[in-house]
Structure 1
Amino acid sequence: MPLYNRRSEAPIPVPTPPAPLGLAELLARVRLALHRQFPESYWVVAEVADLTKPRFAGGHCYLTLTEQATDERGQPAKAQARATLWSQRYQQVVPAFEAHTGQPLRPGLRLLLRVQLRFHEQYGLSLDVLALDPSYTVGELARQRLLALQTLEIKGLLERQKRLALPLAPQRLAVISSPTAAGFQDFVRQLEEAPYDFALTLFPAMMQGDEAPASIRGALDAVRGRRRQFEAVVIIRGGGSKTDLLAFDDYGLAAAVGAFPLPVLTGIGHERDEALADLTAHRALKTPTAVAAFLVERLARVDGLLQHLATEIRAAAGHHLRQHHAHLDRLTARGRAAGQRHLAAARTALYQRARQAAQGPREQLRQQAQRLERFRYQVPRAARRALAHEQQRLRQRARALQQRFARHHRRRREHLLRLRYQLELASTRLLHRAEKRLWALQAKR
């Protein structure tokens, strides 16, 4: 007999797995969950990593927002999301933002945005930008500028250019500008109207836009390789809005200007604010024409000084000549007086000898008369020799002074001729390059 009764065992019920969801249904549930969890808009701080502006009127603006953060383990992590500024809101928000901050909406800016969470089954998670707070961006830009100034000061780049000696008459200039800029044309025209010769070498560069700082640094590197050919560097551009001058607030460009081995003059066409590049330059002037006026005035002062020195040299030469003439006149008077004294003494001696001759032999009288005659001729001859010697010394000094002045004049003329030759050579080279470019363009056509 079995120990246990055999009874039929009921099967254990197996739970039925949930029916699989379609991708569209799953993403729809995600969208509904996000909408319930985040129904309102939120203020968010983020940095613009990428930006696509509208390509036509009525287009939308697309942004990529990022933020550097840390995860639960303290490791660096990067948060990133797509954002959209729809056309109508873009036309309202962005002009007000640029007017308030003086900055265009561009990559690299930290923004305070009011956004609303959006999820689409096809395009995924994104943010709709509803508003921008420009005051946050202004404060952030001011903080970045202050940090850049502090860094430049710590590295000694704010004063390094100021300690460089600018030549008294800088004429060999390396100019960094856009060749088509009106400011560059005004600068060249004003120097051409001046009565002095300037040797200008243009190093073309972009003067506005995101690529301008790198372009200007590249031009500075090109000048650095030829720095022995120049006496100073001029960075100029025409006037523009405040946003057009953002390139000159770049820390890298300001540091490159401050560390440059030649004096750098800036004239970037703004009247109210100083860019970082102005603060690190040797001399910052408001406009390109102000730079040209500064250079012309500096040469005018040197020219005036040279003319004053030439006048003083002529006056000193005339004074020395007058002194030597007066000295010669005194020597002539002394010689004449000495001759007269000697003649008077000889006459006295003659009278004495005559009285003695009347008492002595006739031969002694004849000898005394001969001696007296020789002495009579020797005295004027000695006076003439002394006078001739002094005249010769005076003529030698006059010739030496005239030769010295002639050498100085010749050196200055040779220097001016060299400068003229260098200018003509530079003009010929520029004309040759322009002709080559024209031939190349004609050949392409």
Structure 2
Amino acid sequence: MQKWLANLRKGYGKKLVSLHSWNGWIVVILALTGLVLFQGLWRGILGEGRVIIRYIHIVVGIASLLPVLYYLALAGKHWKQLKGKRWQKVNVIIVLGLLVGWLLSGLLLWQFRAVGPAWSNPALTVHDVLTWVGLPYIIYHSVTRLKWLKEPHRRTVKTGRTEAGLHPAAKPEAVMSRRSFIRVAVGAGIAVAIGPSFLKWLGNAASPGAKLDDIIQSDANKLVPAPTPLPASSPPIGGGSRGSFRIYTVTPIPAFDNSTFSFVIDGLVEKPLQWNWEQFVALKRQVQVSDFHCVTGWSVLGNTWEGIKLKDFLKLAGVKPAAKTVKFYSGDGVYTDSLTLEQADMDDVMVAVMHDGKPIPSDLGGPVRLIVPKMYAYKSVKWLNRIELIDGDHVGYWEERGYDIDAWV
């Protein structure tokens, strides 16, 4: 072991430069793959390739442990070399803290099924905070340490003006080092580009209830009459949802009014049914409390949903013996998913129209959405407007792109 450490310390300077380079590439790959995983647009474009991107993100995230261990092996000599360089020491601590924080929170998100929402929800928040803070810091640190900034002829920004009484042949006055100028410019650019979005995210994270209120206020649906909540919904018997919904969509969010809304049950049924909004909102509803889990690792707990149980709809239409699968259509015209008849018969599968005593807003999949509490949320089809009974299997939108067909939590 001692011989190995001695060999590591040989050529210390070159190894340290290589370490910084590896750290930089790791952060770049994690940033790019993380952006692809976060943006709904890329989810639709990449198809099953998104699963590969996810595994690259996970593998590179785990690999970030190697530079940390490598640095620790060199830490003693490196720390001595930084004697008297306070800010460089601070930078080392910050970068190591970011890498370790990303690694640990990422591992929890990767294993969110095993650790549960009590760990995965805080881990996602930590991962977000480190990304919002860490990436701008690393970008700033990397740009301001570019090699060309150290070249003598690039070190200063000089004035070319001739002041009164100054001989025209006099040398221009150096007013700011180029490095200082770049630091100020890059720092200001990052603050302008990222600052407002970070503050918005911070406000939403600090007050998820306020964010939900904003989503409700910006509801694009124009449907009358609004559903009147049952006593169990207002106030909600679940006590109000705990957590923050993240809005993912692969299409523009649709909006509905009385002229464009309809709800249909057809296919292999004894009696095809169709309702307009006035008829649909008059149907007898029930209330249930359930948790809502997204496959990306976050959860919203204690939601009070109000609607009609799916199995009651199926009884109303009458399922023909040839039917095997219940297929769901989204009002965006793109998204579909399905459940087996056995899954559809679960008592808590609901066609919901209200959440915590208020109409479900368009951003959260209203006016009508499916709720399947025992499965991840990609099964809970948003903007639900049609249920079809079919005699074969159906591979839904996300299942075509690598997700599990059975999405059990």
Q: The TM-score by the shorter chain falls in which range?
A: under 0.3
Greater share of helix residues, 1 or 2?
1
User: TM-score scaled by structure 1?
Assistant: 0.21
Q: Which has the larger radius of gyration?
A: 1
- Larger relative contact order (CA 8 Å, sep ≥ 6): 2
User: TM-score scaled by structure 2?
Assistant: 0.23
